[in-house]
């Protein structure tokens, strides 16, 4: 058994390394690669994807997993690794190698077309590629059986065990709570954002972003920060986690909160036990759990008055002419202003999930054959008008704003954001029950206790457990929207309804 165990780990490490190289090429494509290199990069990614797929579907790997299954207690690390590997092998075995190659080629071409389409602000430039992506998304789903909805296999990739029907019910329950709350907090006089809507030089913004996340504990010996059209985090190895951000010289909050958001993702990957590297367990448990960490650090911590009580003086020092005479209270109100807006990643906490629900509903309609790609911009505008009372006048503020459909499948990506919002508050509440001093420590610039609790209870375990099991172990209860709704209502009372 020991010899077979070592052979299994060696095979899994080879796959892990190939996937890391694919991630490196994707990082380069999103940051520094020349635009004209898109065709070659697509070919490279397709070749590596095919090799990784061949290794995952090698019959010998399946034999090893079957022979080793049941040799350890069901709650052991070895058993968890075997379960995760079997799940991944089973998924890949059902998908032909030819499909994998076509998918990677299409993804690279579609991403490049999306970049060009954004430059011209024209959806029609990328629409034919997106039609192909929709075809591939449906094709992928139909390789699987035993699912109730065409989106279920796609959702399963990011949030294992979640179903379209469950998510639709969850979104409906949330929407009933959020719609009236949004109406409340967006009514009445607007909070001024003049202090953050000034000219902030690009290089100074980047320098301060690095300073801020360094103070939060981001280790630049194990990661780096770069610019990208759409901010993201990507893990290349246990000690190599890359984050990106973007800068708007007329709004300092874009760099601040996109950087803190991606740092939350990075904290998770950097906190996974090193012993799990080279295995399928060396990654986050799910999209929802991962997003809970970016949203916890970005919003629950990063938009709190306590956090800026500690860090606002350094921000004022970095931009004295813009913020030197702006009070902490005015700044905190500005960064928390609630408004009905068009851009998801810039949305406030009260309206954010309405953006997610729109995207989720649209991708369900496309997958079900109820919405054609050519009609997507118009349906997008219609949904924004009905749900938020506003409508984009161009594609960059509408259907072209998110990278997701242009760099992956259609379906299975957006639900993680809402799950993350819910769980961010549930994890934070659990940490504060054990360590009630956390809010006071944050106000003094110390996030180590919170970070330590998260590392011990969430990060280090990687993907050993499902979302449901990890939440139960970390918080002592099932996933619940109660802490999230209570948090939003407290924030509404403190910052909006009392204005």
Which residue numbers are catalytic?
A: 262
Contacts of 36 (CB under 8 A, 6+ apart): none
Bridge partners, 233 (sequence order): 243
Say how far apart CA 455 and CA 394 lie, in whole Å.
42
Among the listed residues 157, 53, 41, 177, the one whose alpha carbon sits nearest the alpha carbon of residue 109: 41
Q: How many CA atoms does the CB half-sphere of 427 hold within 13 Å?
A: 33
Q: Which phi and psi (to 5°) does residue 242 adopt? A: -105, 135
Question: For 26, left (φ over 0), alpha (ψ -120 to 50), or beta?
Answer: alpha
Contact 162, 179 (CB under 8 A): no
Q: Is 230 annotated as a binding residue?
A: no
Q: Which H or E run includes 454?
A: helix 448-457
Three-state DSSP at 445 gives coil
The alpha-helical segments, DSSP class H, found in 248-403 are: 253-271, 287-295, 305-318, 320-323, 328-335, 352-367, 376-388
Task: Look up residue 481 and give its two tokens.
Answer: 């929207």
Say how far apart CA 272 and CA 281 lie, in whole Å.
9
Q: Is 461 annotated as a binding residue?
A: no
What are the counts of helices (DSSP H) followed by strands (DSSP E) for the chain? 22, 3
Contact 277, 235 (CB under 8 A): no
Largest CA distance in the chain: 70
Say how far apart CA 247 and CA 484 lie, in whole Å.
29
Three-state DSSP at 111 gives helix
The full DSSP string for 115-169 is HHHHHHT-GGGTHHHHHHHHHHHHHHHTT--S-SSTTHHHHHHHSTT--HHHHHH
Bridge partners, 227 (sequence order): 245
Q: Which residues of 32-67 are buried (b: 16+ CB within 10 A; e: fewer)?
A: ebeeeebeebbebbbebbbbbbebbbeeebbebbee
Say how far apart CA 335 and CA 276 lie, in whole Å.
38
Strands of 233-237's sheet, edge to edge? 223-227, 240-245, 233-237
Task: Look up residue 402 and give its two tokens.
Answer: 């998110």
Q: Is 291 annotated as a binding residue?
A: yes
Q: Annotated binding site for Zn(2+), which residues?
A: 261, 265, 291
Q: Annotated binding site, which residues?
A: 261, 265, 291
């Amino acid at each position: 058994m020991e010899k077979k165990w070592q052979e299994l780990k060696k095979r899994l490490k080879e796959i892990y390394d190939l996937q890391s190289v694919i991630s490196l090429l994707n990082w380069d494509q999103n940051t520094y690669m020349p635009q004209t290199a898109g065709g070659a990069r697509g070919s490279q990614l397709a070749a590596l994807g095919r090799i990784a797929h061949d290794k995952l579907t090698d019959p010998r790997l399946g034999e090893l997993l079957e022979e080793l299954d049941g040799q350890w207690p069901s709650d052991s690390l070895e058993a968890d690794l075997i379960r995760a590997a079997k799940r991944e092998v089973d998924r890949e075995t059902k998908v032909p190698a030819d499909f994998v190659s076509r998918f990677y080629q299409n993804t690279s071409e579609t991403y490049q077309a999306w970049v060009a389409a954004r430059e011209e602000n024209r959806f029609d430039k990328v629409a034919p590629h997106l039609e192909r992506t929709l075809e591939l998304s449906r094709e992928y789903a139909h390789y699987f059986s035993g699912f109730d909805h065409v989106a279920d296999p796609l959702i399963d990739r990011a949030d294992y065990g979640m179903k379209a029907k469950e998510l639709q019910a969850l979104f409906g329950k949330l929407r009933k709570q959020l719609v009236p709350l949004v109406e409340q907090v967006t009514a009445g006089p607007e909070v001024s954002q003049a202090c953050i809507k000034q000219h902030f030089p690009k290089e100074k913004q980047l320098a301060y972003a690095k300073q801020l996340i360094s103070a939060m504990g981001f280790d630049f010996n194990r990661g780096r920060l770069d610019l990208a059209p759409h901010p993201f985090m990507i893990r290349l190895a246990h000690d190599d986690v890359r984050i990106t951000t973007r800068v708007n010289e007329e709004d300092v909050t874009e760099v601040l909160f996109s950087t803190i958001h991606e740092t939350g993702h990075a904290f998770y990957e950097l906190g996974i036990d090193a012993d799990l590297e080279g295995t399928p367990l060396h990654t986050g448990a799910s999209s929802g759990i991962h997003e809970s960490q970016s949203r916890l650090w970005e919003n629950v911590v990063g938009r709190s008055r306590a956090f800026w009580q500690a860090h606002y003086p350094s921000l004022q020092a970095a931009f004295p002419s813009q913020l030197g005479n702006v009070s902490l209270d005015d700044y905190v109100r500005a960064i928390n202003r609630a408004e009905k807006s068009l851009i998801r990643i810039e949305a406030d906490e009260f309206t954010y999930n309405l953006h997610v629900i729109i995207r989720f509903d649209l991708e369900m309609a496309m997958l079900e054959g109820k919405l054609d790609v050519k009609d997507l911009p118009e349906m997008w505008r219609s949904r924004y008008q009905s749900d938020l009372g506003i409508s984009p006048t161009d594609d960059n503020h509408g259907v072209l704003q998110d990278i997701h459909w242009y760099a992956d499948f259609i379906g299975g990506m957006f639900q993680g954001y809402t799950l993350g919002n819910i769980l961010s508050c549930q994890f934070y509440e659990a940490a504060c029950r054990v360590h009630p001093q956390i809010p006071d420590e944050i106000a003094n610039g110390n996030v180590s206790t919170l970070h330590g609790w998260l590392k011990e209870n969430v990060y280090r375990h990687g993907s050993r457990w499902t979302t449901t099991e990890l939440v139960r172990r970390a918080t002592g209860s099932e996933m619940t929207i109660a802490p999230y709704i209570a948090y939003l209502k407290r924030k509404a009372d403190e910052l909006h309804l009392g204005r």
